[in-house]
């Protein structure tokens, strides 16, 4: 019996160790104001922690619809810092470019085409090519997001 209880404790501790990031619209980070959270690549709206509520899943340089990781549910593909529609990697399907923590529109890396800047040090997302405090639009608490997770968060929040 003791072995079974120990095994269950280890199992639940393993489940809780999945990386998680909370996303807030302001720097106060009130739990009730959480806009979404990311658990192991699953972007879940609000403060829910049920993976079945995932709006998008970011995994293996792809963004999938909902909780799925099926090739039939691929919405976007990230290759060499460029986000393409579906499973395509043709230039006419190119939507965004991610380079050095900045997200650009299309194939450009010009300052005028910079939509957002993700600052790793402060764990904040800024509008445009800025890291000025008043330009912050999203605040992250927890693990740093990779490029595919960040793009999935922005798509879930309809910011891209």
Q: Does some domain include residue 5?
A: no
Q: What is the mean predicted confidence (pLDDT) over 52-80?
A: 96
Which structural domain, as residue segments, surrounds residue 47? Answer: 20-156
Residue 16 has pLDDT above 90, yes or no: no
Q: Does some domain include residue 8?
A: no
Q: What is the mean predicted confidence (pLDDT) over 6-32?
A: 71
Q: Does some domain include residue 72?
A: yes
Q: What does the DSSP assignment read for 33-89?
A: G--EEEETTEEEETT---GGGEEEEEETTEEEETT---GGGEEEEEETTEEEETT--
Cβ-contact 119, 126 below 8 angstroms: yes
Residue 4 has pLDDT above 50, yes or no: no
Q: What is the mean predicted confidence (pLDDT) over 67-73?
A: 95
- The pair of structure tokens assigned to 23 is 């996303």
Beta pairing class for 62-65 and 36-39: unpaired
Residue 118 has pLDDT above 70, yes or no: yes
Residue 82 has pLDDT above 70, yes or no: yes
Q: Does some domain include residue 2?
A: no
Which has more pLDDT, 71 or 12?
71
Cβ-contact 63, 148 below 8 angstroms: yes
Total domains in the chain come to 1
Q: How many CB atoms lie within 10 A of CB 82?
A: 19
| pLDDT class of 157 with cuts at 50, 70, 90 | very high
Q: Does some domain include residue 15?
A: no
Q: What is the mean predicted confidence (pLDDT) over 18-28?
A: 92
Q: Does some domain include residue 13?
A: no
Angstrom distance (rounded) from CA 18 to CA 146: 15
Cβ-contact 97, 103 below 8 angstroms: yes
Average pLDDT, the chain: 90
Q: Does some domain include residue 99?
A: yes
Q: Please tell me the predicted confidence (pLDDT) of residue 18.
A: 61
Q: Which of 154, 128, 121 is nearest to 36 (CA)?
A: 154
Angstrom distance (rounded) from CA 73 to CA 80: 21
| pLDDT class of 10 with cuts at 50, 70, 90 | very low
Q: Does some domain include residue 10?
A: no
Q: What is the mean predicted confidence (pLDDT) over 97-104?
A: 97
Please report, for the domain that includes residue 34, its CATH number.
2.40.160
């Amino acid at each position: 019996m003791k072995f079974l209880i120990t095994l269950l404790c280890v199992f639940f501790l393993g489940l809780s160790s999945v990386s998680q990031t909370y996303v807030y619209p302001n720097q106060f980070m009130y739990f009730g104001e959480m806009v979404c959270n990311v658990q192991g690549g699953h972007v879940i709206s609000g403060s829910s922690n049920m993976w079945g509520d995932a709006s998008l899943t970011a995994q293996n340089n792809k963004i999938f619809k909902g909780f799925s990781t099926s090739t039939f549910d691929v919405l976007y593909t990230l290759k060499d810092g460029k986000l393409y529609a579906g499973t395509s990697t043709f230039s006419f399907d190119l939507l965004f470019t991610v380079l050095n923590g900045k997200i650009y529109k299309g194939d450009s890396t010009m300052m005028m085409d910079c939509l957002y800047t993700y600052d790793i040090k402060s764990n904040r997302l800024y509008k445009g090519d800025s890291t000025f405090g008043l330009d912050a639009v999203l605040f992250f608490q927890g693990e740093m997001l990779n490029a595919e997770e960040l793009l999935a968060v922005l798509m879930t929040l309809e910011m891209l």
